[in-house]
Amino acid sequence: MLRRYLMTLAAALVLMTTTVVAQERTGTIQGKITDTAGVALEGASVVVMGTAFGAVTDHEGVYTIYNVPPGTYTLRVTALKHRTKVISSILVTAHRATTQDIRLAVDSRSAKDVVTVEGTRKQKAGSALSTDSATKQATRGDSESGATSAPSDYSPAPIDFGRIGAEILSNFDRKKKKTQPTGPKAAGESGRETKRIRPQWEDDIDDDDKDSFHRRPHADWYYGSFDAMYFRHYGFNPFVDPRYDNKSTFAVDVDDASFTLAKSYLERGVVPPADAIRTEEFINHFEFDYPQPDDNAFSVIVEGTPSLFNERRTYTLAIGLQGVEIDRREREPVNLVLVVDVSGSMRHGNRIGLVSRSIELLAQQLTRRDRLAIVAYNTYADVRLNPTNAKRGRAIQRAVNSLVPGGSTNAEAGLLLGFEVANDMARRGRNTKVILFSDGVANVGTTGPESLTAKIKSFAKRGVTLSTFGVGMGNYNDVLLERLANDGDGSYAYINNHQEARRQFIDKVVGTLQTIARDVKIQVEFDPRVVSRYRLLGYENRSVADHQFRNDRVDGGEIGAGHQVTALYEITVHQRAKGRDLGRVNIRYHEGNRIGHVHEISARIEWGDLRTAFRYGDDNLRLAVVAAELGELLRDSYWAKTYRPADLLPHLEPLRYGPLAEQADELYDMIIRADRLEGALAGR
């Protein structure tokens, strides 16, 4: 028996060792593609035949193909208006780069027709498409074959999307269109308009918004249900008696995807699932008027107000952190790798169009000191833009134009390739980040976050962080995208429209690109002689054991330049506790982007921090409380059973005429929409 066990163990160890070695022993193929006159060819496609490996050349004609196992291969090189060239006997050796420069001759036939990928349409050379029309043609696909067409100025990337898979996706789309009973008439359709069920909330939409809604329906809404939306409920924090546990410890979180997702549901006249609501992200969506820090990375804000709907002597206590702001011109240079999901699901609702616009906005904020690379993935992954100066606008735009959806979703392949590219860039010793754009729907390779966790965390410890930006409704994986961002020491946001894209990639871009503190943890100590009970609103999945607060190997949260974090507690004080300090808040963090010197700052929670009435509270506090109460209500919290959405409006109304008016209006609109769905809320 023992012998059999030892033999099994030895076999397992051999298999593990073989797997690791196989993963590590790879080489690289690189080189430059030019024409016969020596002019660099940008956008040329280089494919390792018989494999899923390939790359597209940058503005200097340079290509790099990563992760190629040792062996002898054949390359196939194609470029627009040039003859295809096949080169054999390319030898790849482990841990080495094989250089193969290639010259392509002009194709005399290219003056007549330019043929798109897998389709039957042709674009005459003399009638170039505009960017918009090229994108429309690329995403429409061939009506008979179901294949995906590429823009006329794009040389196809080295990925075989698969005709069978494309036909399945195309047929599935047609079936959904035929069975959809309601919805606005599609543009260009003839005949009578299909009858549409009118959402209750349309009466409160401005006329301009109504016209927009009818002219440009959101395709994800039009095509159906929300059955393929994946969320996870993390429970509710209970009230705690400080006589038995007077410390509350958690990792900070600057994510706000839950708020924007809930907003997207409500705008469609649908109650968001309770599992989709994270109260802390409802609070942290808003930008409060907190003071800038003096000497530390953060300023600490403490303020409390009587709770809106709970019993006497119960207060809502806010603990706020304001990160130091850094001017755009003074932030650190960044190595940035964008990993983009271009699978078939990204064609719905113009998801890829929203991602493309987001990348364009982000690229506009980069400087000549920054470097940018783009990796795309569907069934396979490839590099669409090799690391290049971030001001190479034409090269970046060409890479963005190449993001044509189709095929399956191999998120694992895309992320691993993205991290490898980022790791090569990180050797320059600069701030290095990976950003993932996806709907989170993975169906090829490893589809869950567990297998990627260790690898992502190892890169994060070396300073290569991962942030995720989600798009799409109808089929969407919130669980995967949030987990990846948490493991990658980054942030998670959801982009539902161009306005949100501008907020994330213009207004908040410095915080995304420069981290000022890592592994940030907060511990609040309550005095049991003053506080009889307390409850933290949200942060259920960010809890840290009290004894691990000063264990600097325990993961915390990351805060970027100018970022804010706000946590709300509901506390009940003893009857005769007036005038005494309630406790102390401690914040511990590593300063800067890398793990290094540890700082800890503290602030007292004084009785004078509590206001005597809600209306006397600071505008920041009142906005945060109303946002949190809406979140608690939407997540079906036990402590939100005594009120309905409309009960929040009188407390929010005064804020619509002050410095936070724009944000108060956004929250007000959400509450109105939620109140119109009160029946559905009560029936969950």
Q: Please, which pLDDT band fits residue 388 given cuts at 50, 70 and 90? A: very high
CA distance 363 to 384: 15
Mean pLDDT of the chain: 79
What's residue 17's pLDDT?
Answer: 39
Comparing 173 with 391, the larger pLDDT belongs to 391
- How far apart CA 383 and CA 471 sit, in angstroms, is 21
Q: What is the value of pTM for the model shown?
A: 0.70
> What's the confidence (pLDDT) of residue 369?
94
Give the C-alpha separation, 80 to 321, whole Å: 53
Q: Which residue in this structure is represented by tokens 């206590």? A: 317
Measure the CA–CA gap between 64 and 172, rounded to whole angstroms.
36
Q: Which of 138-142, 327-331, 553-557 has the least mean pLDDT? A: 138-142
Query: What does the chain come to in residues?
Result: 684
Note whether 30 and 97 are within 8 A (CB).
Answer: yes
Q: What is the pLDDT of residues 68-108, one digit of tens each?
A: 889 999 998 988 788 889 999 999 988 788 999 999 998 86
459: left (phi over 0), alpha (psi -120 to 50) or beta: alpha
Q: Are 584 and 601 in contact (CB under 8 A)?
A: no
3-state secondary structure of 150: coil
pLDDT of residue 505: 96
Comparison of pLDDT for 330 and 23, the residue scoring more = 330
- pLDDT value, residue 228: 80
For residue 339, what is the enclosing H or E element?
strand 334-341
Please indicate whether residue 48 or residue 624 has the higher confidence score (pLDDT): 624
Cα pseudo-dihedral 37, 38, 40, 46, rounded to 10: 100
CA 289, CA 83: separation in Å to the nearest integer?
60
Dist. CA 159–CA 157, nearest whole Å: 6
- Which pLDDT score, from 0 to 100, does residue 571 have? 97
Distance CA 563, CA 258 (A): 17
Compute the Cα dihedral for 222, 355, 459, 557 and give only its sign. negative
Identity of residue 343: S
Mean pLDDT of 495-523: 94
Q: Give me the percent of the chain exceeding a pLDDT of 90.
A: 58
* Angle formed at CA 166 by CA 129 and CA 80, multiple of 5 degrees: 35
Q: What is the mean pLDDT of residues 256-262?
A: 97
Question: What are the tokens at 202?
Answer: 């349309």
Between vectors from CA 86 to CA 82 and to CA 88, what angle results, nearest 5°?
155
- Judge contact between 204 and 672, C-beta under 8 A: yes
* 263: pLDDT strictly greater than 50: yes
Structure tokens at 118: 């897998």
Residue recorded with tokens 């833009």: 385
What backbone phi and psi angles, to 5 degrees, belong to 265?
Answer: -60, -50
Burial (CB < 10 A; 0-12, 13-18, 19+), residue 656, is middle
**For residue 110, what pLDDT is reported?**
45
Report the pLDDT value the prediction gives residue 119, as an integer from 0 to 100: 31
Q: Does 205 score more than 80 pLDDT?
A: no
Least confident of 61-65, 70-74, 389-393, 446-450: 446-450
> Are 336 and 642 a contacting pair, CB within 8 Å?
no
Average pLDDT over residues 631-645: 92
User: In the prediction, which pLDDT does 310 show?
Assistant: 72
Determine contact, residues 91/98, Cβ cutoff 8 Å: yes
Distance, CA of 68 to CA of 180 (rounded, Å):
46
The closest of 411, 557, 591, 588 to 489, measured between CA atoms, is 557
pLDDT at 177: 37
What does the DSSP assignment read for 377-429?
Answer: ESSSEEEEEEEEETT-HHHHHHHHHT----S---HHHHHHHHHHHHHHHHTT-
Local structure of 505: helix, strand or coil = helix
Residue 451, pLDDT > 70, answer no
Query: Which of 346, 344, 409 is CA-nearest to residue 380?
Result: 409
Structure tokens at 584: 């102390």
User: What is the dihedral sign for C-alpha 26, 466, 494, 361?
Assistant: negative
CB atoms within 10 A of CB 446: 15
Q: Give strand pairing partners of 515.
A: 560
- Burial (CB < 10 A; 0-12, 13-18, 19+), residue 107, is middle
* CA-angle at 674, arms to 669 and 678, nearest 5°: 150
Handedness of CA 389, 392, 393, 396 (dihedral sign): negative
Nearest CA to 326 among 464, 600, 513, 492?
513
Residue 365, pLDDT > 50, answer: yes
Rounded to whole angstroms, the Cα distance separating 465 from 436 reads 11
- What is the structure's pLDDT at 428? 60
Kindly compute the dihedral angle of the four CA atoms of residues 645, 650, 653, 658, in this order, to the nearest 10 degrees: -120
Angle of CA points 243, 244, 249, to nearest 5°: 105
For residue 577, the model assigns a pLDDT of 85
Residue 127 has pLDDT above 60, yes or no: no
CA dist 537 and 526 (Å) reads 16
Between CA 160 and CA 51 the distance in angstroms is 10
Q: Is 184 helix (H, G, I), strand (E, B) or coil?
A: coil
Which tokens hold the place of 356?
Answer: 């493309």
pLDDT in tens, 219-237: 343 334 566 889 999 999 9
Q: What is the pLDDT of residue 56?
A: 73
Residue 353 is inside which H or E element, if any? helix 351-364
Residue type, 129: L
Which of 76-85, 105-114, 458-467, 568-577 comes out lowest in average pLDDT? Answer: 105-114
Alpha helices, H only, 268-307: 279-284
Looking at per-residue pLDDT, the higher value among 140 and 548 belongs to 548
Condensed to tens digits (0 to 9), the pLDDT of residues 655-671 reads: 999 999 999 999 999 99
What is the rounded CA–CA span in Å between residue 666 and residue 672?
A: 10
Share of the chain above pLDDT 70, in %: 76
State yes or no: pLDDT of 138 exceeds 60: no
What is the reported pLDDT for 184?
31
pLDDT at 168 over 90: no
The DSSP code for 503 is I
CA distances from 191 to 187, 194, 215 (A): 11, 9, 16
Q: What are phi and psi of 243, to 5 degrees?
A: -65, -25
Look at residue 430 and tell me whether its pLDDT is greater than 90.
no
- Strongest mean pLDDT among 26-35, 92-101, 530-539: 530-539
pLDDT beyond 50 at 274: yes
Average pLDDT over residues 290-295: 91
